[in-house]
Each structure stands twice: as structure tokens, then as C-alpha cells.
Structure 1
Amino acid sequence: MHLRPFDPTDTDAVIALWTACQLVRPWNDPRADIVRKMTEQPELFIVGEIDDRLVATAMAGFDGHRGWVHYLAVDPDSRRSGLGRQLMAEVERLLREAGCPKLNLQVRSDNLAVLGFYRGLGYGEDQVVSLGKRLILDES
């Protein structure tokens, strides 16, 4: 898999992948999320291609204290082939180079397969409660 920074021409393919991976939610407009990301650390939004076909994405960020990864997606037909592991290794490398001491991510508690994937990469459950508050309501 060839990894590279996201390009705006990838938008439709990225949203199609996120939809296929069931990452799109009614309260998050994926186009708005992409536009927002392109204003903050766009170099940390990476995509993976095989034979010019977009098969993976990761949207990462670093706030000076912790790194985060969102929208990690691998085409359902390409899963269990090491692409997710390769993508996360690149995210970790980029964040480490930025001076990031710890990477956080959130997984829905009922997504057991994804929890197993991250545990296999050495991620453990932190003893915290994730809280959130919507500041901008996306229109979908």
C-alpha cells in the first residue's frame, strides 16, 4: 500500500470508504470534517492506495499534549491483510516526529473486532470516561 497525504480530489472516495466502513454518523457531516481537517495539520490526514484505488484513511492530530486518530478506515474487502497495522505505524511515526508523547483514540464499546485490532497493536484501555459536547451542529 502506498501512503500519502490526503488531496481534496480524494473527498468522494474517502467518504465512500468511510460509509462502507460504517464510520459516518448522522450528526457528523463527513465533508465538513474534511474541510475542518484541511485547516489544521492537513499533513496528518493520510490515505492509502493500492493500484490507484483508495483503500485506507487515517485522520490524526496533535494538540501539544496528546495525539488523536480518527477515521481510521480500511476497505472491508482488504481487511486482515496488514493494511490497518501499516497505516497505524505511519500515524505513530508522524506523531512521534511531531513530539507527541501519547496517542489516544476512541472506539465504540460494542465494536469488539476493532477493539481486538487495537489491543493487538499494543493499545490498552485507559481508566477514563470519554465526555463530549457538540459545539457546532452539522447539517446532514
Structure 2
Amino acid sequence: MEDEQLFQSVQPYIELQAQQPEYLGVEIYDLLKGRLKAREVKAFISVKVSNRPDRRYQALYETAMIKAISYTSGQMWKYYMMTAENFSNSDKRIFSQGIAPHGIALNQDLKSVDNMYSAYNQQDLINLVEDAIFL
């Protein structure tokens, strides 16, 4: 019942975000703060307008931190990259072939980015959610 009430509280903010992409959803964070358990997290999505060269490092840092926290907490979180424009060949190479930095220390081939979506549409979002939840 508590989860249903939380969903009812979050839903209007998600709809607002869909209508106004620049909306940051601080209210959603405030609603979830202290209530979401690590085992309930399935995936993280990094949504960017573009992958400017100077911004690639931000995404690489994000995925490194998320994957390291996931590993040390015994979770299997996924990390997805989304951008409004097409990925360059360099983006594809670094995000699809890169391994998580802690994987280097552990001598394991741990994938850094689980999937990439560019110039996305509604079907891409459905595929992403299904992948995050069911795989």
C-alpha cells in the first residue's frame, strides 16, 4: 500500500518531466530520499542533450561510480547512456567497449555501459525499461 501511495505521489512529476524535458524533478528526489532501498534499484539512465567531447568524461565518471557502488553493495545495477543526438564512432567505441575501472583492479571484464540510445523515441524508452527490469 505504501508503494502505491508513493507511486501516486511521483506520477504527476514524471508526467511534468515528459512534457517539459528541462524540468529537473527535484520534487521526485525529495519524495524518494531515504525511502528507496539499494536492492530496489534496477538501473541508472544518464540522459544528455549531446556528448560534447568535454562531457564524455562526466558520463565515464558517472558509470564508474555507479558500477563500483553496485559491485561493493552486492547489486547488479545497469547503466544506460541516452543522448538526443547520434553517438559518434568515438562515443560508440568508448561507451560500448569500455570496462568498469574496478573491473581492471579485479581482473574481470565488467561492462561499464550496458546499452546506448541516441536520437531516442518512445519505443527506445520501452525497450530500455524492459531491459532494466527483465534482463
Higher RCO (C-alpha 8 Å, min separation 6): 1
Give the structure with the higher percent strand.
1
The TM-score, its normalising length taken from structure 1, stands at 0.39
More helix by share: 2
TM-score by length of 2: 0.40
Bigger Rg, which one: 2
